[in-house]
Amino acid sequence: MLDIQDDISSYLAFSHYIDWNEPSVQRKAKELKDSAEGEIELAKAAYYFVRDEIKHSWDVQDKRVTATASDALREGVGICWAKSNLLAALLRANGIPAGICYQRLTLGSTPESGYCIHALNAIYLRSIDRWIRVDARGNKEGVQADFSVDDERLAFPIRKEYDEVDYKTVYAEPLPQTRSILENSTDALYMYLHSLPERI
């Protein structure tokens, strides 16, 4: 069960990082709404846009660092932290509550590669009166996440034997340590390899 930390209104608010008040984010949110019928289809459309159209920095080897939702939308790239900010912003702009969740994962395929904190999203769907989690990180070989209201189809299965952790808290805002790293980094690839926190 997910741990909801705040009043539902907190998951609709705009902020520096989830800046759905920015005109560019509002335009994209309206475009998505106009092409969708109903809440679930709108949430799905926003998810697929962020998953497929906003590239993961590491996958495309792009050094640009994006932090806010509008940054990621403008540049078309970001690590999972920025992409989760954008998905939350697009949903909130359309009145759908959304938050940020985290996982502790190995950076590579084994514990020896080190660990990182990975971000994904939780979405509250009024039509089914519950929260679901989705991971818009971006698919690639070995990573196949999808939108589902029936069962979680996240990017990474948690391997407890590797000390990976699936944190159940839904945050209204990205964690301070992730914000600080994004603000103080100038090379997304270096950041990805050397600067990501290992634990919340």
Report the predicted TM-score, pTM, of the whole model to 2 decimal places: 0.97
Lookup result for tokens 């590797």: 162
Q: How many degrees, rounded to 5, is the angle at CA 9 between CA 152 and CA 16?
A: 90
131 pLDDT more than 90: yes
Q: What pLDDT shows up at residue 87? A: 99
Instruction: Classify strands 3-4 and 169-170 as parallel, antiparallel or unpaired.
Output: parallel
Q: Which two tokens stand for residue 49?
A: 């846009």
Q: How many CB atoms lie within 10 A of CB 160?
A: 8
What is residue 198's DSSP assignment? S
- Cα–Cα distance between 34 and 4 in angstroms, integer? 30
63 pLDDT more than 90: yes
5 pLDDT more than 90: no
Closest CA to 23 of 123, 93, 100, 95: 93
pLDDT in tens, 65-110: 999 999 999 999 999 999 999 999 999 999 999 999 999 999 988 9
Q: Where are the alpha helices (DSSP H) in 35-94?
A: 39-53, 57-60, 69-75, 80-93
Closest CA to 69 of 1, 112, 119: 119
Lookup result for tokens 């994209």: 28
64 pLDDT more than 90: yes
- Start-to-end C-alpha separation, the chain: 19
Lookup result for tokens 């990621």: 72
Q: Do 80 and 118 meet the contact criterion of CB atoms below 8 Å apart?
A: yes
* pLDDT mean across residues, the chain: 97
Domains of the chain are 3-194 (3.10.620.30)
Closest CA to 105 of 46, 164, 146: 164
pLDDT-derived band of residue 20, with 50, 70 and 90 as boundaries? very high
Mean pLDDT for 182-191 is 96
Q: What pLDDT shows up at residue 6? A: 82
What is residue 1's DSSP assignment? -
Q: In Å, how far are 35, 114, 149 from 47, measured between CA atoms?
A: 13, 29, 12
CB neighbour list of residue 48: distance below 8 Å, 6 or more residues apart: 147
